[in-house]
Amino acid sequence: METVIRVVYKQLYRAYGRQHWWPAKTAFEVMVGAILVQNTAWKNVEKAMLQLEPYLDPIQMFHLPVEKLEQLIRSSGFFRIKARRLHAFLAWFENYDFKMEQLHHQDTLQLRNQLLSINGIGPETADSILLYALDRPVFVIDAYTRRIFKRLGFDLPKKYQDLRYLFETTLVKDVQLYNEYHALIVQHAKVHCKVKPICLSCPLLDHCEQNV
C-alpha cells in the first residue's frame, strides 16, 4: 500500500493541480471552519462564515451570547451543538490569551491531546486544526480517505491513529505535502469518488477495484 499512497498523490496532483486549501484569511478562521464542517458540506460552512465575518475575532466571538452564535452558524447544521463546541474551544483558547503565537510554542502532541480533550473535537477536527491552522506535519484522515483507498482494494486499519500513522510513515514528513494530499483527496471524492462513483475518466481508474 505504501507505493500506492505515493502514486495516488502524484496522479491526483496531475489531475487536479494545487488546491489552495484551507480557504481562509486567518488561522483562527481555519479553526472555526474545522469545527463547523463536522457532518456537513463545505458550502454550508461558507454561508455560516459569511454570517460570522464581523465576529471573526476570538475574544469577540467568545463573548457572543450563545443564542446569537447559534443563529449565525445556523446554515452549518447541528447549530446548537456546534455553538457549544465553538464556545468550549474558545474557552480552551483563552488559556493561551487567544494568541496564535502562544500555540506555536507548544509541542504538537501536547496540543493534540489538549484539543482532543475539548468537548466535540475528535481526531479529524484536531488534526485539521494542527495541520491547516498551526502548520504541524499531521496527516488528516477523513471518510473520503477511507472510501477512496477501500475502493482501491485495501483492507484499511480500523483505528484512526493507525491509518494516520501509515500515511505519515510512508510520506515525507512535510506540512505542504500533507496539506495538498488531503485537499486532493477531498476534491477527488467530490468529483469522481462519490458515494455513487463516477468512474469515467477517473484518474485512479487503473488502480481501482470498483470496476473489476
Topology (CATH) of 2-20+140-207:
Endonuclease Iii, domain 2 (1.10.1670)
Q: Quick check: 16 and 188 in contact, CB under 8 A?
A: yes
Residue located via cell numbers 484536531: 126
User: pLDDT tens per residue, the chain (212 residues)?
Assistant: 888 999 999 999 999 999 999 989 999 999 999 999 999 999 999 999 999 999 999 999 999 999 999 999 999 999 999 999 999 999 999 999 999 999 999 999 999 999 999 999 999 999 999 999 999 999 999 999 999 999 999 999 999 999 999 999 999 999 999 999 999 999 999 999 999 999 999 999 998 887 54
Domain ranges of the chain: 2-20+140-207, 27-133
Angle at 112 between CA 40 and CA 131, to 5 degrees: 60
- Which residue, among 129, 130, 132, has the nearest Cα to 183 in the 3D structure? 132
Phi, psi of 162 (to 5 degrees): -70, -40
Question: With contact defined as beta carbons under 8 Å apart, do 140 and 93 qualify?
Answer: no
Assign domain 27-133 to its CATH superfamily. Answer: Hypothetical protein; domain 2 (1.10.340.30)
- CA angle, 19 as apex, 15 and 20 as ends, to 5°? 160
Residue 170: CA atoms inside 13 Å, Cβ hemisphere, count? 18
Q: How distant is the alpha carbon of residue 83 from its chain centre? A: 18
pTM of the complete model: 0.94
CA distance 127 to 121: 10
